Amino acid sequence: MKRLLLIVLFAHLAHIPVSFANAEYQNKNVGTELSDALIQRYQPTINTMTKKGWDHSNSIILHGMEKIYANHPKPQYLAYVKAFADSYIEQDGTIHHLENELDKVHPAINALFLYEQTGEQKYAVAAKNMLDFFLGTQAAPSTFNKTPTGGYWHKNNAKYHNVMTVDGLYMVHPFLVRYGIRFNRPDLLDIATGQIILTSERTFNIKENLPYQSWDYDKNKPWAHPITGTSSEYWSRASGWFSMALVDVLEYLPKDHPRYAQVLTLFQRWAAGAAAVQHPDTGLWYQVMDSYEKENNYPEISGSSMIIYSLRKGVNLGLLNKRYLEVAQRGWQGVQPFITVFEDGGPQIHSVAPPMGAQVDYSAYVAKRPISVPSKTDGHHPHAVIGVLMAASVMENESATN
């Protein structure tokens, strides 16, 4: 009875038909079911879903599938990641269609994965080419802009002029750290941790222990606070990107690195902040995290799933107190009613915030109404998929650190 009441509550808050409750993915492995469905739905590569090319929209999904592959090494998962990469990477490691946005650095982590799995040198060369394009070389300086404080713009356009974001941390710095460890480039660890600290100093509220999504050096964007330059609310998916960046960096960062303690403390403080605003009944995190009781707010599954991944992985790696295991478990239980059977037999994920950037205020954040993925009306957005895959990779495998 309690479970049914929660399902009715979820459906009311997210404007989802209650009838989907009977079709939820009970007693199934969500990670493999979702991975299998993605391969079935989007052929020949994941770009059929997003049409974004060499971009995080594709690579984050494949990175989630890589995590599932670590637990369930089905050849088709590796082949699917490889098919996308090979559609952009030539045999000599040249990558087509590189652009100077942080979102378009993330696919390099797929290249690293493929090099580790296959030993094919072209993937190592591709990762190096992406690195050189990002940081620049003597012959070809970087075209990625920085704020006067030294932080990278999220995108090189007027909308993001002098804007740093926490999602940008996830797009770049786990890759830099993993590359630095594998190829003996300690300077990359310094760059990554320096950017994490720099961005966090501007975006992380040490009172609430939560990050704002964006910071504007100029303090003149419509969403920017005129004094602090930060965006206005604690958005759930921003916390998801931020926390995944931290835990994935800490997984590889040597404990004797000069900034290890700073990054660890930041991650631990974030975990405390996230736990404090977990909904007491649903176990989920809402679109605006610290205002779940306010009108029009809703449980947001992409951010919740990313948070679950970060908390559980943090416990698995010994970075967080074991009390956060219960926080993650309650969250994962809360996610389940929002994963149902789509008409093709694969999973459908509900109550997901659509693609969006920083908003001007609370009303603007909750005006972005939740969507279902996939959907004939809402489209095929990647954000729901990445969160659920990442969470499943640690919640459905007791021995996983991922």
Plot region of 15 (φ>0 → left; ψ -120 to 50 → alpha; else → beta): left
Residue 147 Cα to chain centre, angstroms: 23
The reported pLDDT for the residue numbered 3 is: 45
Which residue, chain included where needed, has tokens 């079911």? 33
| H/E stretch holding 137 | none
What mean pLDDT value characterizes the chain? 94
- Calpha distance 174→364 (Å, rounded): 31
Q: How many Cβ atoms from other residues are within 10 Å of residue 268's Cβ?
A: 17
The reported pLDDT for the residue numbered 399 is: 52
Q: How many Cβ atoms from other residues are within 10 Å of residue 254's Cβ?
A: 10
Helix/strand/coil for 126:
helix
Task: Single out the residue of 123, 45, 41 nearest to residue 89, CA to CA.
Answer: 123
Task: Single out the residue of 14, 7, 8, 3 nearest to residue 297, CA to CA.
Answer: 14
pLDDT digits (tens, 9 = 90+) for 214-253: 999 999 999 999 999 999 999 999 999 999 999 999 999 9
Which residue, chain included where needed, has tokens 């405390």? 272
- Calpha distance 320→326 (Å, rounded): 12
The reported pLDDT for the residue numbered 352 is: 97
Helix/strand/coil for 225:
coil
Q: How many Cβ atoms from other residues are within 10 Å of residue 101's Cβ?
A: 20
The reported pLDDT for the residue numbered 378 is: 73
Task: Single out the residue of 358, 264, 274 nearest to residue 324, CA to CA.
Answer: 274
- Which residues in the chain come in under a pLDDT of 70? 1-27, 398-402
What is the pTM for the complete model shown? Answer: 0.94
The reported pLDDT for the residue numbered 12 is: 46
Please report, to the nearest 10 degrees, the dihedral formed by the alpha carbons of residues 80, 71, 27, 327 taken in order: -110
Do residues 244 and 177 touch, judged by C-beta distance below 8 A? no
Task: Single out the residue of 210, 198, 206, 194 nearest to residue 259, CA to CA.
Answer: 194
Q: Which domains does the chain have, with CATH numbers?
A: 2-48+143-395 (1.50.10.10), 49-142 (no CATH)
The reported pLDDT for the residue numbered 379 is: 73
The reported pLDDT for the residue numbered 249 is: 99
Tokens of 28: 């199934």
The reported pLDDT for the residue numbered 275 is: 99
The reported pLDDT for the residue numbered 402 is: 57
- Calpha distance 52→231 (Å, rounded): 26
Report which residue type is found at 7: I
Write the CB contacts of 135 (distance below 8 Å, at least 6 apart in sequence): 142, 191
